[in-house]
Structure 1
Amino acid sequence: MQRICVIGGSRYIGKLLVERSRAAGHRVTVINRGSTPQPAGIEHLVVDRNDEAALTAALAGRTFDVVVDQVCYTPVQAAIAARAFAGRTRRYVMTSTIEVYDPATAALPAVPSGTPVPEESVDPTTWQVDMDLPWHDDTYLEAHYAEGKRQAEGVFANAGGFTFATVRSAHVLGGGALEFTGRLAHYAGRVTRGEEITVHAKALPTVFIHYEELAELLLWAAAADFTGPVNACSDGPLDVYDLAGIVVTQAGSDAVYRIVPEGEEASPFSFDRHYAMSNARAKALGFLFSRTTDWLPGAVAEALAVPAAPTA
């Protein structure tokens, strides 16, 4: 049994992680702002993680074996958490993202197209951190999501006080209405309504992971002893045509594609640049991944079963 603290834990992957941690016999504490009640047997600390004094007060007298941070987006948030949990946890696991490898968001080492991107392409121990950027501004943060994650990793990697690992998640799918990004619903809706799917002239593959598999991997990472980044993606990259093709098969409707001019944004998961991750490190550490094509048809079926939102 471990004492696990989950920051976030109110929806989707975080909620499932809490449920599975509890089912595995761990003692679980959830920290969030209290928007969603926690089930019986879960300690719930209602506090804003951005309020360092309140967070430190809420943690008084508590220690954990591991903290799993689901909602850290900036180096400022990371610095607050690093100070608050120093001496209170043995291990800290941050949920990060494939977007840290996006070459459109930072000057990164070139990786040949088609070569899976390894973790060492972004080293958090050497990444430059700038606390003075306007991280409190939601518009700025949305536009600099990848950089916020990179710098947050950098803060934790150099904090000391606990061992640190970061799980860089591929694009997460599955769960039907639970999938709050709406990206799979975008394809389900476009195909069933016969609407255009915008794509790049040369759409490149990316990688995906089912939300249940990511929750399983986070629980595995919580109990492991590796440090540093690890990529989390199912086997088998897919491009936008592969993804839409599975939707077409499930929906029984044809897809309508429109190629966008160079430099224009296209539908989610159509990429004109390469940053599909390698999962070799996680495999070497002992985690077994599914194949994307094994679970994606079921995820698409769930998305198609969700009632469409009413139109104006």
Structure 2
Amino acid sequence: MATILVLGGTRFFGKKLVERLVADGHSVTIATRGETPHSFGDTVEQLCFDRLDEVAFAKAVEGRTWDIAYDNICYSPDEAQVVCRLLNGRIGKLVFTSTMATYAPSAGKKVEADFDPLQYELRMGTRDDFTYGEGKRQAEVVFYKEATFPVVAVRFPIVVGEDDYTERLLFHVQHVLQQKPMAFVNVDARMSYITSDEAAAFLQWAGEHAQAEPYNATANGDYTLAEFIALVEEATGKRAKIALGGDDTTRSPYAVGADWYMDNAKATAHGFTFSQLQDWLPTLLATLVEAEQQ
């Protein structure tokens, strides 16, 4: 049994991670602001504080140690530096939820070496000072340059599932069902995906087995956006209304200008078995369509 701290574990793949850890008999502590009720009952310990309040964070972890910590909600170098200050000497390993957005969209499949945090210039700041992708890049830089504990950065692509609170996948289903236009920049761009269940499974694996370095974590296979749109059309039984450019109401959350997909060969070689995208994305789309039509 391991002692495990999870920062951000009450929804989406963070919640599923906690469920997996508890089911495997680990002693789990979740750290949240306490604003959203959790469903774990007395199977976990809860620490309530705002991670942006360093004094409250320090008080909550004082005198505590954990074998593994997961940080699912770090979005800036300032936040990462606080984790380093407060958890150095208190944890045996950190798994940081990073993102495919550390890679800029461009032709070709991304491998981990395409972004090396040790070779990237550090700029400190809060989450308001950076785009999402740059904030995650800078957080990785801090963790790999300043942490005294081992760090595994897990770079996820678009995470999807019935429980996706962002509703990015649902956006496409709803727009086709309602015959609303959807705007894209490049329908030939390829993208990667992973389910929330598989994301949780990978995070657990990363904590238990991964070496202290970055890993891409994505389902096997990819689709161009044109192929993705065709899957939505098949699931809905309707033709999509596609536009180029668009505005905030019509632009697809997946409207990238170039390929944005990843290679998972490194994690595969190290022992994780990924799902096949074509085995579950059409089924997930059909499930979302059915829910919308009820």
Q: TM-score range by the shorter chain?
A: over 0.9
Are the equivalent residues in 2 in contact too, given 1:174–1:302 (CA < 8 A)?
no
Give the CA deviation at 1:15: 0.7
SS at structure 1 position matched to 2:223:
coil
Cross-structure match for 1:294: 279
Q: Select which of 175, 188, 194 maps to 1:209.
A: 194
Q: Select which of 88, 95, 98 maps to 2:97.
A: 95
**Counterparts in 2 of 1:97-112, with a 5 A limit?**
97-103=99-105
Cross-structure match for 2:114: 121
The answer to whether the aligner puts 1:17 opposite 2:28 as a matched pair is: no
Cross-structure match for 2:5: 5
Cross-structure match for 1:243: 228
Are the equivalent residues in 2 in contact too, given 1:239–1:269 (CA < 8 A)?
no
Spell out structure 1 runs of 4+ moving beyond 3 A: 305-308
Q: Deviations over 1:185-216 (max 9, x none)?
A: 11111111112222235531010101100000
CA RMSD of aligned residues (A): 1.8
Q: C-alpha separation between the residues in 2 aligned to 1:93 and 1:67? A: 6
Are the equivalent residues in 1 in contact too, given 2:186–2:258 (CA < 8 A)?
no
Identify if the C-alpha distance between structure 1 residues 210 and 249 changes in structure 2 by more than 3 Å, giving closer, same or farther: same
Give the CA deviation at 1:225: 4.1
Q: C-alpha separation between the residues in 2 aligned to 1:199 and 1:218? A: 31
Identity score, percent = 35
The amino acid that maps onto 1:281 is K
The answer to whether the aligner puts 1:161 opposite 2:163 as a matched pair is: no
Are the equivalent residues in 1 in contact too, given 2:191–2:260 (CA < 8 A)?
yes
Identify if the C-alpha distance between structure 1 residues 273 and 300 changes in structure 2 by more than 3 Å, giving closer, same or farther: same
Q: TM-score, normalised by structure 1?
A: 0.87
Q: C-alpha separation between the residues in 2 aligned to 1:259 and 1:307? A: 26
Structure 2: gaps (5+ residues): none
Are the equivalent residues in 1 in contact too, given 2:127–2:135 (CA < 8 A)?
no
Q: Deviations over 1:154-202 (max 9, x none)?
A: 1011123210110000101112xx2111111111111111122222355
Q: C-alpha separation between the residues in 1 aligned to 2:234 and 2:172? A: 12
**Counterparts in 2 of 1:1-312, with a 5 A limit?**
1-38=1-38, 39=40, 40-103=42-105, 113=107, 115-131=108-124, 133=125, 135=126, 137=128, 140-141=129-130, 144-175=131-162, 178-201=163-186, 203-260=188-245, 266-307=251-292
Are the equivalent residues in 2 in contact too, given 1:205–1:271 (CA < 8 A)?
no
Give the CA deviation at 1:54: 1.4
Q: TM-score, normalised by structure 2?
A: 0.92
The amino acid that maps onto 1:203 is D
Give the CA deviation at 1:271: 2.4
Q: C-alpha separation between the residues in 2 aligned to 1:120 and 1:201? A: 25
Q: C-alpha separation between the residues in 2 aligned to 1:149 and 1:191? A: 32
Q: C-alpha separation between the residues in 2 aligned to 1:225 and 1:179? A: 26
Identify if the C-alpha distance between structure 1 residues 307 and 35 changes in structure 2 by more than 3 Å, giving closer, same or farther: farther
The amino acid that maps onto 1:119 is E
SS at structure 2 position matched to 1:286:
coil
SS at structure 2 position matched to 1:64:
coil
